Amino acid sequence: MSRSRVLGLIPARGGSKRLPGKNLMKLHGRSLLQRAIDAGHEARGINRLIVSTDDPAIAEAARAGGAEVPFLRPAELATDEASSLDVVRHAMEWADQDEPGAFSHLVLLQPTSPLRTAQDIDQTLALCLERGCSTAISVAPAPKADLLMIGENGMLAPASAFGKPVILNGAVYVVDWRHITVGGGFIAPDTAYYLMDEHRSVDVDLSEDLERAASGLKS
């Protein structure tokens, strides 16, 4: 089988020290988890959508919301120390056993980005596919345009001297399957970026972030 399918992965562990239970918190009637599931299903480029969680309650909510939960994540991948890349690799190993040789790309959709849309997903994925990049990520305008960067000559210069300053917003990560298999990460020398509006780039980590996301839905 030639690798041509795209796997959508929603990581949603049960533990959260700063905002306990945040993945199941409601935002205008839908949980953060459900909003990620809905966006993943609406994205035309995703062929299969799964949720990776260690929490039976989240697994039950995910299944009720229309997502697959084909496994419970091992406890060692549900700690504060476990990285998103570890979770991605674990899901890829499962997928390669379930559908050998089927997937060419993986799209990571964190529930903590509730204002991300299916269009954001599809456009980020399209960048990766059309340009043949190792990865593509969503970004937002940097909050401070006067950030300093170290230039090629080792001297400090305004970030704006190198183009429009941006930051990762955590909404969409697209990775080429082979790139991760050989040890690559989310950022590579050929990473493409998709710019999202600042007001939709809310990353929910605290209760005030949830309030900002609610305000963003009204605007």
pLDDT in tens, 58-112: 999 999 999 999 999 998 988 888 899 999 999 999 999 999 999 999 999 999 9
- The structural domain count of the chain equals 1
pLDDT at 132 exceeding the cut of 60? yes
Establish if 192 belongs to a structural domain. yes
- Residues 13-32 have a mean pLDDT of 90
Establish if 142 belongs to a structural domain. yes
Percentage of residues in the chain having pLDDT higher than 70: 98
Amino acid 1: pLDDT: 56
Host domain of residue 83? 5-214
In a 13 Å sphere around the CA of 68, the CA atoms on its Cβ side amount to: 14
Amino acid 154: pLDDT: 85
Establish if 189 belongs to a structural domain. yes
Amino acid 201: pLDDT: 95
- Residues 104-123 have a mean pLDDT of 98
Q: What is the mean pLDDT of the chain?
A: 93
Per residue in 148-191, pLDDT tens? 888 778 888 888 877 888 999 999 999 999 999 999 999 999 99
Establish if 219 belongs to a structural domain. no
CATH code, domain with 40: 3.90.550.10
- Residues 43-67 have a mean pLDDT of 97
Amino acid 203: pLDDT: 94
Establish if 102 belongs to a structural domain. yes
Q: How far apart are CA 189 and CA 135, in angstroms?
A: 9
pLDDT at 219 exceeding the cut of 60? no
- Give bridge partners of residue 106 from the DSSP assignment: 7, 175
Establish if 101 belongs to a structural domain. yes
Amino acid 11: pLDDT: 97
- Which H, E and C letters describe the chain, residue by residue? CCCCEEEEEEECCCCCCCCCCHHHCEECCEEHHHHHHHHHHHCCCCCEEEEEECCHHHHHHHHHCCCECCCECCHHHCCCCCCHHHHHHHHHHHHHHHCCCCEEEEEECCCCCCCCCHHHHHHHHHHHHHHCCCEEEEEEECCCCCCEEECCCCCEEEHHHHCCCEEEEEEEEEEEHHHHHCCCCCCCCCCEEEECCHHHCCCCCCHHHHHHHHHHHHC
